[in-house]
Chain A
Amino acid sequence: MPGPRLFSILRQGSCLIASIHTALDDSQLLRFQQDLVETIGRDRARGVVIDVAALDVLDSFATSTLRDIGEMARLRGAATVVVGIQPEVAIAMVRLGLRTGVLETALDLEEGLARVDGRLAGAADGRRDR
């Protein structure tokens, strides 16, 4: 891809850290979704942290794309946490009437990773108990 990277997907243990680097248009968001879901399957990732701090807005399309990613990841056995939603972006989302729905959110990358780790540990405990 020419020019600066629009997003990056890095592996850390059994988790993926997907960072959006700039404002994305709808087709770029869909490419992000596709790349991320493919990587989740290929790497057999158990957790995904999506960092959206660099997105200028979270409009209805971006929000539903994130929700779709969460749902697709869940179907492939991975937990998703969205981090870095800026305060003014959150306010606009609420006024717009958007909800992240089932999508889990955390303040920043660190907290997001902790959350995913917790979810994985919880899931592992659950399996042991069974």
Chain B
Amino acid sequence: MIPIVRRIVAARVPDRATADDLVQETLARVLAAVERIEPGMVEPYAIVTARNVVATMWRDQDRQRRHQHRVVDLRPPELPDEDVLAQEDRHAMAEALTRLSERERDTLLAHEVSGQDTHSLAAELGSTAGAVAAQLNRTRARLRVEYLLAADRVEPPTERCRPVLLALSSGDRRRQREVDAARHLLECELCARLSEPLMGRGRSRDDEVRVAVRVDADVVAARQAARELAARLGFASTDLTEVATAVSEIVRNIVRFADAGEVLVELLDSPRRGIRITARDSGPGIPDVQEALREGYSTYRGLGLGLPGARRLMDEFAVASEPGRGTTVTMTKWREAG
């Protein structure tokens, strides 16, 4: 990911020291958002963030130039920017609220402004507290999207924009996949720009580890991360080595056949304790998964090599692959028998 970010920034910013600062800034923002975006989207997000960071720098420089000009002119200062911003902010929020349905708006205001709790809201609405809470989350996510659109005074250029922005805003990874947010962010300038304020800072979790995969060394990093996390569950050393070996087999495919990907290692509590590894890439995909999975297919050197071996080492194993779009391998080892 870092080389791509460097390339993007260097292509736009000739000064080396400034470029380095902007690369650092980009990486910091990506790291802050990484918990809230699905693995396949880290790279597209890094790309649009790099562009945003560069654009912000140009804007700031431009503003400074205007201010310098003003100082030379000795003109009286204008209204402080903050007041203008606050006015625009309120206007945008009011506009965003009008774009919610009446029921969404009333429920949200009752909860956020009047402080009505979800139980009494549920009673009024003939619903459950859980459903109301979920609906409130969706409404907040929509409000953030509509607020940003209103503040920017833009209408999304395509029909896909709102679903994508909503999926980002709610931090719903499954939905982000369904609407193919990763691809849209690369194609749509508006959504790319708005993605950044929508992602924000996510909470960090200590029961999962992500490893970005690009080069050979990342394969070792991924298998060691899996081993270390699994060790916390008290797996036997034989199991730890089997997990590490399976990760090595699977992740090698990303380096060989896809440009980049990511490995997510998670500790599971239910249905019982275990470790799940999800290896995802945006590579060419495996044309024939069944062929690649065939037992004893040891001379196979194409896409999906090592899949049968890894499957034998793990308790559960699934491959989803779409030609031209990428491959996701999900595999689990349980700590105790089911």
Contacts and interface: CB of A to CB of B under 8 A. Distances in A.
Given A88-B238, A96-B309, A97-B308, A57 B244 contact: yes
B305 to A, nearest CB: 8
B216 interface: yes
A95 B242 contact: yes
Given A23-B220, A25-B219, A60 B237 contact: no
B249 A56 contact: no
Contacts of B68: none
Interface string B282-316: 00000000000000101000000110111011000
B224 interface: yes
B252 A92 contact: no
Contacts of A88: 237-238, 240-242
Contacts of B223: 56-57
Given A26-B216, A89-B241, A59 B312 contact: no
B252 A61 contact: yes
B308 A59 contact: no
Contact of A92 (B217, B219, B242): B242
A25 B216 contact: yes
Contacts of A23: 220, 224
B313 A28 contact: no
Given A26-B252, A60-B306, A97-B312, A92 B298 contact: no
Contact of A56 (B216, B217, B224, B252): B224
A86 B237 CA distance: 11
Contacts of A98: 309
Interface residues of A, number: 23
B21 to A, nearest CB: 26
B248 interface: yes
Contacts of A57: 223, 241, 244-245, 248
Contacts of A59: 245, 248-249, 252, 306, 309
Interface string A95-119: 1111000000000000000000000
Nearest to B218: A25
B144 interface: no
B contact residues, range: 20 to 34
A56 B237 CA distance: 11
B216 A27 contact: yes
A98 B312 CA distance: 11
B142 interface: no
Interface in B233-290: 237-238, 240-242, 244-245, 248-249, 252, 255
Contacts of A89: 241
A128 B41 CA distance: 68
A130 to B, nearest CB: 37
A91 B238 contact: yes
B216 A95 contact: no
B29 interface: no
B227 interface: yes
Contacts of A25: 216-217, 219-220
Interface string B203-229: 000000000000011011001100100
A105 B306 CA distance: 23
Given A96-B249, A96-B312, 17 more contacts: A26-B219, A27-B216, A56-B220, A56-B244, A58-B245, A59-B245, A59-B306, A59-B309, A60-B249, A86-B241, A87-B238, A92-B242, A95-B312, A96-B245, A97-B296, A97-B298, A98-B309
Interface of B: 216-217, 219-220, 223-224, 227, 237-238, 240-242, 244-245, 248-249, 252, 255, 296, 298, 305-306, 308-310, 312-313
